[in-house]
Amino acid sequence: MASEEEQPSALSDKQVLVLMWLYLPASLLSLLGSGSVLAVTSRRGRCCHIQLRPLFLLALADLLAAAAVLSTATIQLLPAPLFVPAYAGCPYGLMLATVRGSPELAAELRPIC
């Protein structure tokens, strides 16, 4: 397999920060929404009910994907000494966030990482 060459970012620092500030509230709202669905279905003991199982699993997948996007997007807010080690884990967060098969999301997150 041919090795992938590292390409410089096509976005400026200001554009990356704008993307990050767009992802933060969207991810937080997604965490809130899917977390509330998980809490209600779990509290009532209906998470294993045959009709609610797809909703429960979809909310769980959305919660995990939003957590991965949120952790990847907030790397830009870290101070310089912590930025470099956290940036090394950025491709793994990108893989976790795009496991659901969304190439559009991968293309949008690539400039942040």
> Higher confidence at residue 113 or residue 40?
40
pLDDT digits (tens, 9 = 90+) for 65-92: 888 888 877 877 777 777 777 777 777 7
Comparing C-alpha atoms, which of 101, 110, 107 is closest to residue 61? 101
Indicate if the pLDDT at residue 1 is higher than 50: no
Look-up of token digits 């659901």: 100
How far is Cα 56 from Cα 38, in angstroms, rounded to an integer? 6
Q: Is-contact 93 71, C-beta < 8 A?
A: yes
Longest dimension (CA), the chain: 52
What would you report as the CA-atom Rg of the chain, rounded to the nearest whole angstrom?
17
Enumerate the domain spans of the chain.
13-109
Distance CA 92, CA 15 (A): 22
